[in-house]
Amino acid sequence: MDAQYHPGLVALSLGVAFIASLTALDMAGRLRATKGIASHLWLTGGAFSMGVGIWSMHFIGMLAMDMSTHVMYDIPLTLVSFLAAILTSGLALAVVRNGSPTAGRLAAGALLMGAGVCIMHYVGMEAMQMHGELSYDPLIFACSVLIAVGASAAALWLVFSLNPVANQRPSFWFRVAAGMVMAVGIAGMHYTGMAATIYPEGMHMMPVDGLSPGRLAVSVASVSVSIMLSALVLSIYDTHLTSKNAQLAASLSDANRELKSMVYRDSLTTLPNRLHFEEKIEELLQQGSDSFSVFFVDLDHFKNVNDSLGHHVGDLLIRQSADRLRAAVRETDLVARVGGDEFMVLIQGNPSRKVAESLAFRIVESLQQPFQIEDMLVHVSSSVGVSMYPDHAAQKHELMIYADAAMYAAKKSGRNNYVFYQENMTSGTERRSKMDERLRLALLNDGLSLAYQPKVEVSTGKVTGVEALVRWQDDVLGTVTPDELIPFAEDSNLILPLGEWVLRKACQFSANWEKEFGVALPIAVNISALQLSHRGFVESVKLILEETGLAANRLELELTESTLVKDPKYAQGVMSALRDAGVSLSIDDFGTGYSNLAQLRRFPIDRLKIDKSFMSEAVFNDQDAAIVKSVIALAKILNLKVTTEGIETEEQLEFIRSLNGQEYQGYYYSKALPADELKTLLLKKLAQAS
């Protein structure tokens, strides 16, 4: 039988093959980019749409053959051919979904796919209903099988090449070119198979149920193209969503990295912080490191720099110190800032004690050199504590605590040096840890108390007021002296609640005294630099006065010279606000700080308190006596009242009286007493006077 091909339908079959190839490539990409149930769904949908495309190309190609007779098709065999196309497509997609493109995988996949394509084609040919049987040219038949296997191998290779990794999508034109290659391979197999077919002479339509060529052409063309285009659109849309999700995930990852950097970095120095440092130690412990060393570095006299030169200078000093620490250690070592003026260094690489000593010495030497900050040379030093793993401890927190204890030992031994941990060093660290816990409880439960030392008028011997002094007798710690308590409260950020507690209790005591005895008893309270610099301090004082009912002119706040030098402009503003509220202000321990009377003229001060250190030798030492005389004389010129501290003997009192001193404090009259003992003393003195 003579057969000719209709050019339009041949072109249509190639177009369908091209769309089927693009669908196959896209489905393969989605499969390799997804996992779990999504991957199974794409495999099922991809196999169906790709199979429809290949099967449609096959039947449109058969319809393109212009026979001299009408041809009908057997429905069961047509369905078998259709299912063979879908199963073959599913096999191809399954091959590219799992594993890498090894030669064995490609060969096995190509053979199975080629067999499936041949089954689809030749079963579809057998679905043609006619008298006689079809036969095939053996040579051309063999060529069609080889082309089917070769086309399958080329298709698999292209899919692997276009989708080597998940979520990697090739360029549009590269996919078009690959689709054309696959389409030519699929069409080549089909038309070679058609050429191998030998049709019987004089064949004619058999009167059996079947589909007419016209209806089949319309159905196949419209349905198959719709299915494949729908699959392509869905795949492209899913790829778009995946890309958007990937971008969102990348943005979230960047945000997480930035957040992690913020969490693990010190903002002032950009050094790792305590959290990062602790995790690094934990990492070394988990890795089974043979040894490493932990340094605790504290800057000596940093507080004096902050108080006298201001926080901005302190910040610059911290930054330069961080730079020097980085330069002093090795690249493999980790430097972290763990507190205000505290750093820690992790010495890695199994260092010996000799190596640790060498690095500790370099740190001390580096930090004792002058710092050029703005137009000033600032001098500090450092105290370094060293603990070693596993010699001193095998746990992270113990290593850090022991390095801290060794650092305090370095400070006690004169500062500006380094000390290795020894077993007897942890008692002080344990006490500080316990102090933090107990002080917080004491502030909550009124576990502190106040003692009151009278201030006495020199000329009459009358009590003009009292100074409130905090006392702490703890059930666990025992007696904690003010010299230990106040610095600890400042270091542990408890000075603000402690100062507020003292101020409130003192004001309440003075107010109650006046209510009970009808006589005013002015009260003086010491204020730290941290309290004065707190933005809400003035309002806090006003609120306490209002709540306790104490008149503002009954309260005197005592400040140190270093408090004023730290930030003079700000201190002046706060002091003026307190004076406007009616509160009196005095300078405590005058003569021990950095200021002088000329500098103090700009501050709204009512009183100077001469430090007791000058009075201990003033009666016998001409230099100390001259200082006391000068202060009293200049204070009178500036219209300031003077209170002399540390009067313990009759000779000292007579000396002050000879200088026309106004007021004194000291053991000569009374030490600081609890409230009930003070009441007994003052009532006794009052009875003696009357």
The per-residue pLDDT for range 619-641, each reduced to its tens digit, is: 777 777 888 888 888 888 888 89
Full DSSP string of 428-478: HHHHHHHHHHHHHHHHHHT--EEEEEEEEETTT--EEEEEEEEEEEETTTE
Residue 292 has pLDDT above 90, yes or no: yes
* 318-340 tens-digit pLDDT: 999 999 999 999 999 999 999 88
CB atoms within 10 A of CB 607: 21
- Average pLDDT for 208-232: 56
Pick among 3.30.360.10, 3.40.50.800, 3.30.70.270, 3.40.50.720: CATH of 274-421: 3.30.70.270
- Is the pLDDT confidence value at 419 over 80? yes
Chain segment 346-355, per-residue pLDDT in tens: 999 889 999 9
Confidence bin at 205 (pLDDT 50/70/90)? very low
Sign of CA dihedral 181, 186, 189, 191: negative
Query: What are 39's two structure tokens?
Result: 């991957």
CATH 1.20.120.420 correct for 447-681: no
pLDDT at residue 98 in the model: 64
- Given this model, what pLDDT does residue 668 score? 93
In this predicted model, what pLDDT tens digit does every residue of 460-479 receive, in sequence order? 999 999 999 999 999 988 99
Q: Output the CA torsion sign for 72, 75, 81, 86.
A: positive
Tell me the C-alpha distance between 42 and 27, whole Å: 7
Highest mean pLDDT among 111-125, 134-148, 671-685: 671-685
Q: What is the gyration radius of the CA atoms in the chain, in angstroms?
A: 47
Residues contacting 127, CB < 8 A, separation 6+: 73, 74, 77, 78, 81
Residue 535, pLDDT > 90, answer no
DSSP codes joined into one string, 296-324: EEEEETHHHHHHHH-HHHHHHHHHHHHHH
Q: Judge whether residue 152 has pLDDT over 60.
A: yes
Percent with pLDDT over 90 in the chain? 39
Question: Where is average pLDDT lowest: 233-242, 506-515, 658-667, 676-685?
Answer: 233-242
Has this prediction a pTM greater than 0.85? no
Question: What is the mean pLDDT of the segment spanning 233-247?
Answer: 64
What is the band of 57 on the pLDDT scale with cuts at 50, 70, 90? confident
Quickly state the pLDDT bin for 262 (edges 50, 70, 90).
low
Residue 55's pLDDT band, with cuts at 50, 70 and 90, is: confident
Map out the domains of the chain as residue ranges: 4-244, 274-421, 447-681
State the average pLDDT over residues 62-80. 70
Q: What angle do CA 220, 221, 225 make, to 5 degrees?
A: 110
**pLDDT value of position 130:** 65
Q: How confident is the model at residue 272 (pLDDT cuts 50, 70, 90)?
A: very high
In angstroms, the CA 57 to CA 227 distance is 13
- The whole-chain average pLDDT of the chain stands at 81
